[in-house]
Each structure stands twice: as structure tokens, then as C-alpha cells.
Amino acid sequence: MSSDCIFCKIVNKEIPSNFIFENDKVIAFNDLNPQAPVHFLVIPKKHYSSLNDIDSKEAFADIFSAIPEITKKLEIKEYRTVVNTGESAGQTVFHIHVHVMAGRKFDWPAG
């Protein structure tokens, strides 16, 4: 865990958050700046700065296996997932997180 990472503080419950999902490896919570009617983040409890820092297939699987479980629970069948890696790609919090968005039509390219 990184002591100055806001997502680590959320994982450690130092910052209150309403989790929409939690298991022993990941948590999910609504994005504070939603870009769609449904917009939540899925993050590992273990700190990885970005996708480039994931050190095992299991960590990757933990994150992405939770997403269908969450979307089924929320009765969401169509959604977009986004992982920004690096500042120029739009990553603003350097703890890997997957954006899951739904509830509107998405265009491509994303922009």
C-alpha cells in the first residue's frame, strides 16, 4: 500500500466510500466524476501504480473477473471498460483502476 495514494486510503477505509462490491482482492465504488449514468471503478486492494506494474496473471484476473459479477448484480448487459495507463493517457490516480461505464451510447474513437 502507498501511504499517499487516495485509493489505498479508500481500501484501508481511511476515506469513507460506499462500496458497490468487495471481495478479498478488489473493491468497486462509484466514480466521483461520472462520465455516464453508471460509472464505477474497480480497483485491486493491493497497490499497483498502473497496468505496467501488475506482477501476476492472478492480479489481472482478480480485477477483470469481478467486473461481470458486478454488472450482473447491477443488471447491466452492455458497458464500456477503460484502463488509462500513464499521465498522457488520462491516468490521474496512480493506483490501477478500471472504469466501467454504462447507461448511454458510446462513440468511437473515444476522444
C-alpha cell recorded at residue 73: 448484480
Q: Which amino acid is at 40?
A: F
Q: Is residue 97 annotated as a catalytic residue, yes or no?
A: yes
From the candidates 39, 95, 97, 99, give the one annotated as an active-site residue: 97
Neighbours of 52 (CB within 10 A): 9
- Alpha helix ranges (H) inside the chain: 6-11, 57-73
Q: Residues with catalytic annotation? A: 97
